[in-house]
Amino acid sequence: METFLASNLIRPALYQQPLENGAVKCLLCPHQCVLYEEKTGLCHTRQNRNGVLYTLAYGNPCSLNVDPIEKKPLFHFLPGSKILSLATAGCNFKCLNCQNWEISQSSPQKLRAYDLPPEAVMELAGENNIPSIAFTYTEPTVFYEYVFDTAKLAHEKNIKTVIVSNGYINEKPLQDLCPFLNAANIDLKCFDTHLYRKLTGGSLEPVLKTLKTLKEQGVWLEITNLIVPTYSDSAEMITSMCKWLVDNGFEDTPLHFSRFFPAHQLPNLPPTPIKTLLAAREIAQTAGMKYVYVGNVPTLGYENTVCPSCQKLLIERTGFTVNKNFINEGKCMFCHAPIPGVWQ
Ligand code: SF4
């Protein structure tokens, strides 16, 4: 694949509303940026040109890899398979702890990118016999048109699609995308509106709405909660989050607590203490969450899937590798209890 400086690939954006004096309102995410002539949105991917909003992030991924699906993380979705993973530059959050800030806080006009329209993504997945595609690393919402066209094409070709997202998207674009999505991992950053704003620049409510919509629409869902010391490590807040999840029918949804390592604007915070992660796991299980994992600490052994009915080990993982899998046709091989997920 050739690389090129992706400065001239622009397409009209979906979900826009013209305003007076040549301004345009972007209706893609809850920020609802109002953009005047030549201005670019908070996400760096949408620009007003002559009163029309264009996306600058189409067919020009700056990151492209084949990953183990466990890395997304998705633990109940085609375990042990590979996933073609891509991202354009840009994000609608400004997370203090972002590990990919060099690409998420940049613009498609500034980074070198692959020339990879949706048809080429299909070819790449097909040639390499990869069963699914992930829109990940940055924020898929901000390259929505590229995600949508690729996911629609993938759907026709029986290739599965996944978003790894902050969930900060308006209801209409999410509803429109759902029929072409097979799975999502949504980052639920914390469970406090004020802290959400401080940590990410976004807000909590739209993310909760996204979780509900994905579930209602039958998209396989897993949730990640990165525990950042002094920001999202309060036991009370984790308790409230888990209570909300159980009260809203998410007890079968895999919940991944993830360990923070110093990054971006939080270089001086320590990694999340192991005892905090274990306490969070305990809280979630006590609240009624059935599949709770602890990520970014492979030696801990809490990345295995255990049958909630007979307590037998079902999937043994080391890091991103699946060592053993005792799930057969979506059921525990020992007690035959159904285990929710997409297994083949
Ligand atoms: S997608 Fe980008 S331009 Fe549109 S509202 Fe969100 S941050 Fe603003």
Task: Write the pLDDT tens digit of every residue in 309-325.
Answer: 999 999 999 989 999 99
Pocket of ligand 1 (CB under 6 A): 26, 28-29, 31-33, 41-43, 46, 92, 142
> Which atom of ligand 1 lies closest to the CA of 27?
5
User: How far, in Å, are 75, 191, 258, 300, 331 from residue 253 at the CA level?
Assistant: 10, 17, 16, 21, 16
Same-domain check for residues 16 and 100: no
> Which atom of ligand 1 lies closest to the CA of 15?
4
Which of 46, 55, 95, 141 has most ligand 1 atoms within 8 Å of CB, for mutation?
Answer: 46
Whether the pLDDT of residue 229 is over 50: the answer is: yes
Residue 255's contacts (CB-CB under 8 Å, 6 or more residues apart) are: 222, 223, 224, 225, 242, 245, 284, 289, 291, 292, 293
pLDDT value, residue 298: 77
The answer to the question of residue 332 being in a domain is no
Whether the pLDDT of residue 279 is over 70: the answer is: yes
**DSSP letter, residue 220:** E
User: How far, in Å, are 65, 256, 299, 316 from residue 319 at the CA level?
Assistant: 18, 13, 8, 10
Beta strands in 191-326 (DSSP E): 220-227, 255-259, 292-295, 305-306, 313-318, 321-325
pLDDT value, residue 5: 45
Same-domain check for residues 111 and 153: yes
> Which atom of ligand 1 lies closest to the CA of 32?
5
Q: What's the CATH code of the domain at 110?
A: 3.20.20.70
d(CA 19, CA 231): 38
Residue 267's contacts (CB-CB under 8 Å, 6 or more residues apart) are: none
Q: What is the mean pLDDT of residues 16-42?
A: 97
Same-domain check for residues 152 and 76: yes
Separation of CA 285 and ligand 1 centre (Å): 36
Same-domain check for residues 147 and 41: no
Q: How many CA atoms lie within 13 A of 246 on its CB side?
A: 16
**Strand 331-332 vs strand 327-328: parallel, antiparallel, or unpaired?**
antiparallel
> Which atom of ligand 1 lies closest to the CA of 142?
1
If you take atom 5 of ligand 1, which residue's CA is the nearest one?
32
The answer to the question of residue 84 being in a domain is yes
Please spell the DSSP secondary structure of 246-278, one letter per residue. Answer: HHTT-TTS-EEEEE---BTTBTTSPPPPHHHHH
Which of 16, 17, 29, 95 has most ligand 1 atoms within 8 Å of CB, for mutation?
Answer: 29
Could you report the per-residue pLDDT of 92-132, keeping only the tens digit for each?
999 999 999 999 999 998 999 999 999 999 999 999 999 99
Q: Determine the structural domain holding residue 108 and report its residue range.
A: 63-303
The answer to the question of residue 79 being in a domain is yes
If one counts every other C-beta atom within 10 angstroms of the C-beta of residue 2, the result is: 6
Tokens of 164: 């790894």
The answer to the question of residue 205 being in a domain is yes
Separation of CA 162 and ligand 1 centre (Å): 21
Same-domain check for residues 40 and 167: no
Separation of CA 54 and ligand 1 centre (Å): 11
257 touches 280 (CB < 8 A): yes
> Which atom of ligand 1 lies closest to the CA of 45?
2
> Which atom of ligand 1 lies closest to the CA of 168?
6
For residue 1, what pLDDT band results from cuts at 50, 70 and 90? very low
Same-domain check for residues 194 and 95: yes
Separation of CA 92 and ligand 1 centre (Å): 6
Same-domain check for residues 174 and 212: yes
Separation of CA 338 and ligand 1 centre (Å): 40
Could you report the per-residue pLDDT of 263-278, keeping only the tens digit for each?
999 999 999 999 999 9
Same-domain check for residues 20 and 73: no
d(CA 24, CA 249): 38
Whether the pLDDT of residue 9 is over 90: the answer is: no
The answer to the question of residue 339 being in a domain is no
Q: Helix and strand tally (H, E) in the chain? A: 8, 21
Tokens of 25: 């309102």
Separation of CA 169 and ligand 1 centre (Å): 9
If you take atom 6 of ligand 1, which residue's CA is the nearest one?
29
If you take atom 4 of ligand 1, which residue's CA is the nearest one?
26
Average confidence score pLDDT of the chain: 95
Same-domain check for residues 129 and 219: yes
For residue 87, what pLDDT band results from cuts at 50, 70 and 90? very high
Which of 31, 39, 52 has most ligand 1 atoms within 8 Å of CB, for mutation?
Answer: 31
Same-domain check for residues 72 and 49: no
pLDDT value, residue 143: 98
**DSSP letter, residue 329:** T
The answer to the question of residue 72 being in a domain is yes
The answer to the question of residue 322 being in a domain is no
The answer to the question of residue 181 being in a domain is yes
Number of domains in the chain: 2
Same-domain check for residues 43 and 72: no
pLDDT value, residue 256: 98
Same-domain check for residues 28 and 124: no
d(CA 116, CA 3): 9
Residue type, 188: L
d(CA 341, CA 305): 12
Q: What is the mean pLDDT of residues 220-244?
A: 97
> Which atom of ligand 1 lies closest to the CA of 35?
3
For residue 200, what pLDDT band results from cuts at 50, 70 and 90? very high
If you take atom 3 of ligand 1, which residue's CA is the nearest one?
41
pLDDT value, residue 334: 98
For residue 2, what pLDDT band results from cuts at 50, 70 and 90? very low
